[in-house]
């Protein structure tokens, strides 16, 4: 590969160093931010240096906004500068955080688009199945009259005939039970959800938004504002999770309800109160 084929490296902007200096003046460590936000320390270190190669492209914008909130600085100013720097170093256009209303609209478009594609295929499969199961091919038409068989000839006393219990057990269809959880927005807040220890999603929930989640066995949450959401699980609403001065660092829900909850104080609150 020649030198002309390689794209020049963009110089690291000064605002990265400015943010690091502000963090140190406020006596906030990256370890503290990592503990509060559950973003790995390695990703925070790389992000503060402007090293985008070592930060996942799917999450880097969300990580940077969370980092700015932890420093309690002017978010729009620094985030706009970050997006400009990012556009010069990454060509893919990805996003992970959007308002719930935008996500719902995108979901509807995606659903209708796929519906138009798969409806003809489903109709064709049903038609073939009907032809196979309800059509009989014969070589010659039968000239024999059709003899009616009465039900009484097969079952002498239909009034007392019942299906044996063992037959009922055999034909029952097993049902797979899944957990369902409604999350209702009380105030604007960010939340991260991990279902069954494998699927992760993030949302910016607004007041009045409601979303339903399902899982096989476990929900795990990280919520930016303890009083920002209300849960409805098993037909019952779960009470207050915390107050406006707290974040939910970890919340676990299984079929028995809430099995673990760990609350914390945001970094800007700890600065005022002097908590560690």
Closest among 206, 233, 248, 244 to 97, alpha carbons compared = 206
Q: What is the pLDDT along the chain (276 residues), one digit of tens a residue?
A: 434 333 445 688 899 999 999 999 999 999 999 999 999 999 999 999 999 999 998 899 999 999 999 999 999 999 999 999 998 887 554 444 444 444 455 566 666 777 777 888 998 989 898 888 765 544 445 455 545 555 455 445 444 445 455 544 444 445 455 888 888 999 899 889 999 998 898 999 898 899 998 899 999 998 889 888 989 888 888 867 888 888 998 989 998 889 998 988 875 555 545 554
* The pLDDT of residue 256: 86
* The pLDDT of residue 266: 72
Structure tokens given for 236: 């019952």
| Domain range 11-89, its CATH number among 3.20.20.140, 1.10.645.10, 1.10.260.40, 3.10.20.880 | 1.10.260.40
CA–CA separation, 48 and 152 (whole Å): 85
pTM listed for this prediction: 0.36
* The pLDDT of residue 119: 85
Task: Give the strand pairing for 219-223 and 229-233.
Answer: unpaired
Where do the structural domains in the chain lie, given as residue ranges? 11-89, 179-273
CA triple 236-240-245, angle to 5 deg? 160
* The pLDDT of residue 95: 43
* The pLDDT of residue 36: 94
């Amino acid at each position: 590969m020649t030198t002309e084929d390689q794209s020049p490296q963009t110089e690291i902007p000064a605002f990265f160093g400015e943010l690091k200096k502000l963090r140190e003046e406020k006596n906030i460590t990256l370890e503290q931010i990592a503990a509060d936000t559950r973003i790995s320390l390695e990703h925070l270190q790389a992000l503060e240096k402007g090293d985008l190669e070592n930060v996942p492209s799917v999450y880097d914008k969300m990580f940077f906004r969370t980092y700015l909130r932890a420093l309690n600085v002017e978010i729009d100013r620094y985030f706009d500068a970050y997006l400009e720097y990012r556009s010069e170093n990454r060509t893919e256009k990805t996003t992970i955080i959007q308002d719930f209303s935008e996500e719902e609209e995108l979901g509807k478009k995606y659903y209708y688009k796929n519906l138009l594609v798969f409806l003809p295929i489903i109709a064709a499969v049903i038609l073939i199945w009907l032809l196979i199961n309800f059509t009989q091919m014969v070589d010659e038409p039968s000239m024999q009259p059709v003899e009616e068989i009465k039900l009484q000839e097969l079952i002498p006393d239909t009034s007392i005939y019942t299906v044996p219990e063992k037959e009922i057990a055999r034909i029952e269809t097993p049902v797979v039970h899944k957990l369902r959880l409604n999350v209702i927005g009380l105030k604007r807040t960010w939340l991260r959800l991990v279902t069954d220890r494998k699927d992760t999603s993030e949302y910016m929930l607004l007041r009045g938004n409601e979303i339903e989640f399902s899982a096989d066995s476990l929900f795990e949450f990280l919520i930016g504002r303890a009083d920002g959401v209300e849960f409805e699980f098993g037909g019952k609403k779960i009470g207050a999770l915390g107050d406006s001065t707290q974040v939910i660092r970890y919340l676990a829900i299984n079929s028995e309800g809430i099995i673990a909850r760990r609350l914390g104080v945001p970094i800007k609150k700890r600065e005022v109160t002097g908590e560690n």
